[in-house]
Amino acid sequence: MKDIFDAYCGIYCGSCIIRLAHMQNRPESIPEPWKTMSKGMNLECHGCKSDHVYPNCAKCETRKCAKEKQVDYCFTCEDYPCEKIPERDPSEYYPHFTLALQHRNLLKENKVTEWLEYHKDRFTCKNCSNMFTWYEEICHFCGEKVESVVEELKNTKKD
């Protein structure tokens, strides 16, 4: 099954908490609220645009809308911004979504390969080469400090 990590909304699915918990065989690493939401579900997922999607993501209204309108990304839709995915940096969303809004410039320039490479490198531990999730601050495998999206957003606001 092919992995497709560029989500319609601009999130990088490769560092998803659910996906990595499944791929790395560590379901105990799933924090709340995802732990409760995913209880008893099959965690296997190959990305938002793949044929095998985590059940909660399969219900995503943004995903459903983009598929119906046959757009690769929400920002390419003639109705964007809309109530499903606003143009501004919404504080009510999770930090990984806020970060996605800030990093979509490569996608807008149709540089998907560069965008995927950037994120793969961004979420790979420099010490042991294992992937880490959006919210991890310490690599689960080697204990090396890694930058979470929360830290990145704090550092971005300082600049």
64-75, pLDDT tens digit by residue? 999 999 999 988
pTM over 0.75: yes
Residue 129 domain-assigned (yes or no): yes
Residue 143 domain-assigned (yes or no): yes
Residue 76 domain-assigned (yes or no): yes
Residue 111 domain-assigned (yes or no): yes
Residue 98 domain-assigned (yes or no): yes
Residue 5 domain-assigned (yes or no): no
pLDDT exceeds cutoff 90 at 140: yes
Per residue in 18-58, pLDDT (tens digit) is: 999 999 999 989 988 889 989 999 999 999 999 999 999 99
Q: What DSSP line would sit under the chain, residue for residue?
A: -----B-TTS-BGGG-HHHHHHHTT-GGGPPTTHHHHTTTS------TTSSS--HHHHT-HHHHHHHHHT-SSGGGSTT-S-SSS-SS--TTS-HHHHHHHHTTHHHHTT-HHHHHHHHHHHTB-TTT--B--TT-SB-TTT--B---HHHHHHHHHH-
Report the domain count for the chain.
Answer: 1
At residue 158, the pLDDT reads 65
Residue 22 domain-assigned (yes or no): yes
Domain of 122?
13-158
Residue 113 domain-assigned (yes or no): yes
At residue 98, the pLDDT reads 81
